[in-house]
Structure 1
Amino acid sequence: MQHQDDLENLPFVSLLDIDPHERLASLEKDIAGLTAAELRAKGLAAVDTDSLLALVCLERAFSDIQTPEIASALGFCLAKERTQFDRAVELCRLALEKEPAIAKHYLYLGRVFLMQGKKNEAIAVYMEGLSYGEDAELIADVRLVGTRRRPLIPILRREHLLNRSLGYIIEKVSRRKRPSRP
């Protein structure tokens, strides 16, 4: 078992002790004086690891450099950190209009939809992104979210007893037909 001192040195524990307003002020001070290009690079590098740092950097960079890359990443960060979903979707869609073949834009828009609880919209966006070519992150998100087949009897709801019973029976039969793994 770790001692209290060891726990305090872990990054996630130390972040929990920091007031968000203090951290925001600290980040603002850290990035003061950086050029727009430096802010862009620092923000894009931090999107997956520290979305608050990314948000601060990308907001500053976006005022000078309005690229689709910054717009979609900023949209994702706005949704994650500030729950500004409308603005986030707007920025991600703006990026997709300008660069429709870039998978990262679809990834961020899909994640924004997931944060909103719009799973079907997220899957549709992921699938649209995959239509331009395979992307490991999009595929991983689709697998994580999961997709469902249509109900066996489409005129009945998925939860209807007939759909559930038939689905259960077909699943059992198909498991028997699969070869067993050694």
Structure 2
Amino acid sequence: MELSPHASAEKEAARAQKELEEGNVLAALACLEKSLQAEDDPSLHSCLGFCMAKERGHVTRGLELCHAAIEREPQNPIHYFYLAKVHLVAGTKEEAVSALRQGAAQGGNPQILLMLQELGTRKPPPLRFLSRDHFLNKYLGKLLGRLGLR
């Protein structure tokens, strides 16, 4: 007995989620592609974007898919989570943290909060009246850090 397209799409999506939790991004990518062929589910586009960026190196396409998913469902924090993961693949940590903060503002998610803790937050600059990238703040922060005063 063959499954309906909707049931097979759900089965593949669940399998993709399981593969992602186990860290097997390539298998998750294959499952997501099968699921989306059976039925186009916009909630899976951000996950597909991350898998494509991670496995195939298509960072631009991954960002496009994540942004399209956010446009369709701006209140879904998981889209922001996958957008942050794509930014990390691209090497843009600041944008990743920004996406995670936006996702936390949309209701949060345990994965988002965990990733924010892993990425860490920056300490305030030693001289707060100067910008963070001012040379005095940079070198004074490094010096205080080495002395263990920060």
- TM-score bracket relative to the smaller structure: 0.7 to 0.9
The equivalent residue for 1:80 is: 54
Contact 2:130 2:137 survives alignment (8 Å):
no
Q: What is the letter of the counterpart of residue 144 of structure 1?
A: E
Change in Cα spacing, 1:161 to 1:62, as seen in structure 2 (3 Å) is same
Residue pairs, 1:29-178, within 5 angstroms: 35-49=8-22, 50-151=24-125, 152=127, 153-155=129-131, 157-158=133-134, 160-161=135-136, 163-165=138-140, 168=144, 172=149
- RMSD over aligned CA atoms reads 2.4
Structure number with bigger Rg: 1
- What secondary structure sits across from 2:21 in the alignment? coil
Number of residues paired by the alignment? 138
Q: What is the letter of the counterpart of residue 41 of structure 1?
A: A
Change in Cα spacing, 1:147 to 1:71, as seen in structure 2 (3 Å) is same
Change in Cα spacing, 1:164 to 1:120, as seen in structure 2 (3 Å) is same
Ranges in structure 2 where 5+ consecutive residues have no aligned partner? 1-6
Contact 1:47 1:73 survives alignment (8 Å):
no
- 1:146-165 Cα offsets, whole Å, 9 max, x none, are 2224532534735x245432
Identity of aligned residues (%): 33
TM-score normalised over the length of structure 1: 0.66
Contact 1:43 1:53 survives alignment (8 Å):
yes
- 1:61-120 Cα offsets, whole Å, 9 max, x none, are 212322232111111111111111011111111111111111211111101101111011
- What secondary structure sits across from 1:92 in the alignment? helix
Larger relative contact order (CA 8 Å, sep ≥ 6)? 2
- 1:122-160 Cα offsets, whole Å, 9 max, x none, are 0110111111223221111111112224532534735x2
In structure 2, what is the Cα distance between the partners aligned to 1:162 and 1:35? Answer: 56
TM-score normalised over the length of structure 2: 0.78
Contact 1:71 1:95 survives alignment (8 Å):
yes
